[in-house]
Structure 1
Amino acid sequence: MTAALVAGSLLTSAPHPRAEAAEPGGGGARAALGVDLDTVTIPELQARMAKGRLTPSALTHAYLRRIKDVDPKIKAVLRTNPQALRQAAESDARHRRGEIRGPLDGIPVLLKDNVDTRGMPTTAGSLALAGSPPDADAKLVTRLKDAGAVILGKTNLSEWANFRAAKPTSGWSAVGGQTRNPYVLDRNPCGSSSGSAAALAASLSQVAIGTETDGSIVCPAGMNGVVGHKPSLGLVSQSGVVPISAEQDTAGPMARNVTDTALTLSVLSGSDEVAASRTPRPGSLRGKRIGLWRLPSLGEKVDAVMTRTAKKLRSAGAEVVEVSPPYQKRLAELEFPALLSEFHRDIDSYLATRKGPRDLAELIAFNRAHPEERTCFAGQELFEQALEAPPTTDPDYRAMRAELKDLSSRSIDETMAEHRLDAIASPTNPPAWTTDCARGDNDVIPSSTPAAVSGYPSLSVPAGSVGELPVGLLLMAGDRQDARLLSLGAAVERRLDAWRAPRYLPSVGPDAG
């Protein structure tokens, strides 16, 4: 029921097809499949499958070929699933019988490599977990398989979801090396779901799964020119996902358009909460009130993208008012210390379920004993600080987390109430910085924090670019307003029409922005 409601509200808001990339891209599959992998949506694929003009096996073969041909440029996919073609053949049979299980039946999905997948390595990018696969699927993987999705493989990520070193390099792991941004190959893909976003930008899968504690779905989505949705906390099960903090962690869907993102969320959530709110008329922005949080710290060129975005939204009938959500300085002061305590608690619980280091202390010792873990950056300062952090039973920690929850929720709720908003919008990311192991990331990006800390939903859609480098528009709304946010996001996506295929340029010179 959820999938049908979400699909019905978003189908007409799917983005228009665009020109192919300068180098061979997903459009190269058009002759063989009759579809352009860069631009085709899940409803369009299912319509072709229903008419017998496309099979899940043919679609899966096409994506496996693209991974073989294109992924050496970007190193986004760690491994493909040896069972993918068998799963596709089973979906072929269901389609022939007219017994499909829903919108994702036969649709290839890539999983971030911190999501437990039975029979496949799940490493969080670390050699410490590379030896033995998990014994069971994460609950979200079970939902995908039950829905008939084809598990295509696992994507690279920032090792331990970027919660190891004080100055990490996003997209690097000891298992997978460095993932590159498909738009400009010497630029960074951002955040820990870097491989999932880069793979989608290169059309290596129809959808992908990312995870976020603060920014690790939405920043990679913005920086790689795709769509990423961080769901409301608890909407998607976190069982079987390598953790940072149960108070903020969530897995979420990523795709090249909002329609596919919403359909994937409907499967991941496994309930009608996604469609609990009545969605606006598809494609309509008239009368919507959007608060623009400009964040000039991201630079004049990003701010110019926001100015153009506001003009386009106003021309479509939306009211755009400038806002500045309160309490951001205090959130920045409190979030990191709270995450240290929560990481120690949660990673110890997870490691106890796997073969390898049994707790954080053993994990620190493993990294000291294995020089391969230090080939890009040597530090594990966050691990060491977490080991010494107060336990989550400590009264000071509890007060800290309570204040975080209160202020982050109020920062969104009060802003939306004061200005009578349907959503708050902000830039998702700066232009991608050059990847540099010695320097680390240049990623002070505050826009993701209010929704991440409060557990409210956020959605990044392509907004434009600075030169060759994509910039996303981040939309935020109140708790469990995922369906409303996705419907609004589809209308914004259609109006901005900002997606373009990557050109895999080697470089564009010094950092922009």
Structure 2
Amino acid sequence: MKFTSALSSFSLVLLLTLTTSNALLTSIKEATIDEIQLAFKQNQLTSRQLVEYYISEINRLNPILNAVIEVNPDAIYQADRADYERARAKTRRGSMLGGLHGIPVLIKDTIGTKDKLNTSAGSFALLGSVVARDAGVVAKLRQGGAIILGKASLSEWAAFRSLNAPNGFSPRGGQGKNPYVLSADPCGSSSGSAISVAANLIAVSIGTETDGSILCPSHANSAVGIKPTVGLTSRAGVVPVSPRQDTIGPICRTVADAVHVLDAIAGFDEFDPATREASKYIPYGGYKQFLKANGLKGKRIGVVRNPFLSSVGEYERQAFESHVRILRQGGATVFDKLEISNIETISNATRSGEAVALLAEFKVSVNAYLKQLVVSPVRTLADVIAFNQKFSDSEMNDELGQEIFLAAEGTNGIGSLEKAAMANLEQLTKDGFQKLMWDHELDALVTHGPGISAVLAIGGFPGINVPAGYDEKGVPFGINFGGLKGTEQKLIQIAYGFEQLTKIRKPPTFIA
């Protein structure tokens, strides 16, 4: 796809200015939200310059990475407006701007935007559809002054269409590539969101997760991903999979940046009833107050090795051992070699009942989503299946089927089978993760990589991935911290404390 608005000749001057005039900001690349805001404040950078820089990087790298599906044609206008608002605020005493004011954001292509951008879930079936309003999280981003730069690529339909589709692939976006090792798995489904921040196409992105779709791409692309408690952020206006498990969260390069974004998007939304109950978890003053370098001190952390270390190499095993020592050195009390009851069953979506529940929930929720669109080529899941068959040249090939779609279409609402599956998931959660947390009075569980995602998914629990290293081939891997509902503040303290003691993340290498 061809992108407009190339970087103008100011770039070299701008980067030299950023390098020489402020020790905190060596360049736009790798810059944090706080560093960008400082550059704004000191008149070293404008939102327009930042947007133009990111667009130029997308033009340069996206043909390789396939991380961005489309750029917002109004992004420059939004940037100019942010610069104008910032200039006015400087002349008005007491005028306050949000922490994301003037900051560009990439949004996963399942998250609705009421603008010139498509919301297509990576599928040609939804190309040209028109949403009724901005998704809840997008509305909050706009209220905070953020610039919606464009839509990030993904695994089509949030990886809930085909059993054979590769992670990070969609017909509209192509195959997303891991910027560290291009042949490595970028994971999914929020692959483009993670690839984009890792490759410095953006500082801030938003992903969605039903089971692993924020945590796994963050793990694979050396990013920080926060999977919030279900309902802490609104799912309204987002192409759904399961209202019981879906959640929306940030993917950034640092814990602090991800927390800035969480503060901006968390909270009540009249269009998502789940936010009413979950909003009670949001602490007064927000989550930034928990960004403490000594955040590990006094925390009780359980270490679960089985089965998450069983399939990794010696290099990653040794790294995990080192990280457990760091948790202790940071002041945490570590309970090692804990076991989650029935973890083998939980990790198998068929055996646990998760697959049965998700299939029925998807059909019900996606049909409701399609029907409420102002304009759409498809109005039901059956329409989407028929579209894929009719336009098989663009939507299907010998490997890309729609087995999940067909299985979901074969369901008939939430019946006795689905209710039994959901009840089993609740019991597995109570007997497993919850019991372990309560028995040891833990603040968090820690695992290598995103293997714990199924545990967190079926219970609606929060989790944070932090970069943890790179294997012998240069492929990133992460460490995951998970907790009970509403414990984001504890997870943030732990994740930030770990990050500050290790500072493992490094820029991508683009190894072929």
Q: Same fold (TM over 0.5)?
A: yes
Return the alpha-carbon distance in structure 2 between the equivalents of residues 113 and 311 of structure 1.
Answer: 39
Check the 8 A contact 2:66/2:176 in 1, yes or no: yes
For residue 306 of structure 1, what is the aligned residue in structure 2?
320
Superposed CA deviations along residues 201-255 of structure 1, whole A, max 9, x for unmatched, are: 1011110000000000000001000000010000111011001111101111110
CA contact (8 A) 1:404 1:453 kept: yes
Give the alignment's Cα RMSD to 1 decimal: 2.1
Match of 1:9 in 2: none
Tell me, in whole angstroms, the C-alpha distance in 1 between the residues paired with 2:129 and 2:380: 16
Give matches, 1:345-494, under 5 Å: 345-354=364-373, 355-371=376-392, 372-375=394-397, 377-392=399-414, 394-429=415-450, 446-467=451-472, 468-494=474-500
1:84 Cα deviation (Å)?
0.9
In terms of mean alpha carbon deviation, does 356-365 or 294-303 score higher? 294-303
Structure 2 residue 80 is matched with structure 1 residue 89:
yes
Cα offset for 1:399? 2.5
Shift of 1:32: 5.4
Mapped contact 2:155–2:191 kept (Cα < 8 A): yes
Alpha-carbon distance change, 489 to 410 in structure 1, aligned in 2, over 3 angstroms: farther
Q: Is residue 34 of structure 2 the alignment partner of residue 37 of structure 1? A: no
Specify which of 93, 102, 108 is matched with residue 106 of structure 1. Answer: 102
The alpha-carbon deviation at position 28 of structure 1 amounts to: 11
The alignment partner of 1:339 has SS state of helix
Q: Which amino acid aligns with 1:329?
A: E
The answer to whether the 8 A contact 1:169-1:377 is kept is no
Check the 8 A contact 1:428/1:448 in 2, yes or no: no
1:207 equivalenced with 2:204 (yes/no):
yes
Contact between 1:464 and 1:471, CA under 8 Å: does it hold in 2? yes
**Aligned equivalents of 1:85 and 1:485: distance in 2?**
36
Q: Which residue type is aligned with residue 53 of structure 1?
A: Q
Q: What is the aligned partner in structure 2 of residue 169 from structure 1?
A: 166
**Equivalent residue, structure 2, for 1:70:** 61
Identity within the alignment, %: 36
Aligned partners of 2:296 and 2:493 also within 8 Å: no
Deviation by residue 1:149-200 (Cα, 9 ceiling, x = unmatched): 0111111110011111122211110111101000011122101100000011
Aligned residue runs from structure 1 range 329-344, under 5 A? 329-331=344-346, 332=348, 333=351, 334-344=353-363
Q: Does 1:287 align with 2:298?
A: yes
SS at match of 2:423: helix
User: Aligned partners of 2:144, 2:371: CA distance in 1, in Å?
Assistant: 30
CA spacing shift, 1:336–1:32, aligned 2, 3 Å: farther
> How far apart in 2 are the matches of 1:108 and 1:488?
28
- 1:261 is matched with 258
Instruction: Check 1:96–1:410 CA distance in 2 against 1; reply closer, same or farther (3 A cut).
Output: farther
Structure 1 residues 45-83: Cα deviation after superposition (integer angstroms, max 9, x where no partner): 222222322222222222112111222221101111111
Which letter maps to 1:260? Answer: D
Distance 1:27 1:350, change over 3 A: farther
Report the counterpart of residue 283 of structure 2 in structure 1.
275
Q: Which of 302, 305, 329 is equivalent to 1:315?
A: 329
Which sits farther off after the overlay, 411-420 or 58-67? 411-420
Q: Give the distance between the partners of 1:399 and 1:37, measured in 2 at CA.
A: 52
Amino acid at match of 1:292: V
Number of residues paired by the alignment? 464
- Would the aligned equivalents of 2:291 and 2:492 in 1 still touch at CA under 8 Å? no
Q: Take 1:411 and 1:363, find their aligned partners in 2: how far apart are those partners?
A: 38
Q: Is the 2:255–2:495 contact (alpha carbons within 8 Å) kept by the matching residues of 1?
A: yes
Distance 1:29 1:480 in 2: 42
Say which SS state the counterpart of residue 132 (structure 1) adopts.
coil
User: Given residue 257 of structure 2, which amino acid in structure 1 is its aligned partner?
Assistant: D
Find runs of 4+ consecutive structure 1 residues off by over 4 angstroms.
26-29
CA distance in 2 between partners of 1:27 and 1:484 (Å): 42
What SS does structure 2 have at the residue aligned with 1:297?
coil
Q: Following TM superposition, by how much is the alpha carbon of 1:390 offset from its aligned partner in structure 2, in angstroms? A: 4.3
Amino acid at match of 2:363: H
Give the whole-Å Cα distance in 1 for the aligned partners of 2:55 and 2:13: 13
Match of 2:7 in 1: none
User: Any stretches of 5+ residues in structure 1 without a counterpart?
Assistant: 1-25, 430-445, 507-513
Q: 1:123 to 1:29 in 2, by over 3 A?
A: farther
Q: Give the secondary-structure state (helix, strand or coil) at the position aligned to 1:298.
A: coil
| 3-state secondary structure, aligned to 1:43 | helix
| Paired AA for residue 333 in structure 2 | E
Q: Shift of the alpha carbon at 1:413?
A: 2.2
1:362 and 1:183 map into 2 onto residues whose CA distance is: 38
TM value normalised by structure 1: 0.86
Task: Provide the residue aligned with 2:45 in structure 1.
Answer: 54
Three-state SS of the structure 2 residue aligned to 1:296 is coil
CA contact (8 A) 1:222 1:462 kept: yes
Tell me the residue number matched to 2:3: none
Describe the superposition over 1:390-418 as per-residue Cα deviations: whole angstroms up to 9, x where unpaired: 421x1231132133134225532221222
Letter in 1 for 2:298: G
Partner of 1:325: 340
Tell me the alpha carbon deviations over residues 424-482 of structure 1, each in whole angstroms, 9 at most, x when there is no partner. 011225xxxxxxxxxxxxxxxx3201111111110000011112011111100110111
**How far does residue 378 in structure 1 lie from its aligned partner after superposition?**
2.7
Q: Which range is displaced more, 282-291 or 215-224?
A: 282-291
- For residues 360 and 267 of structure 1, do their structure 2 counterparts lie closer, same or farther at Cα, with a shift above 3 Å needed? same
Corresponding residue number in structure 2 for 1:435: none
| Amino acid corresponding to residue 55 of structure 1 in structure 2 | T
For the residues of structure 1 that align with 2:135 and 2:142, how far apart are their CA atoms?
11
Q: Which position in structure 2 is the counterpart of 1:296?
A: 309
Which of residues 226, 230, 233 is equivalent to 1:233? 230
How far has the Cα of 1:41 moved from its partner? Answer: 1.7
Q: SS at 1:229's partner residue?
A: strand
Q: Structure 2 CA distance, aligned partners of 1:30 and 1:289?
A: 44
| CA distance, structure 2, for counterparts of residue 317 and residue 481 of structure 1 | 19
Which consecutive unaligned segments of at least 5 residues does structure 2 have? 1-10, 20-24, 90-94, 269-278
**Matched residue type, 2:497:** A
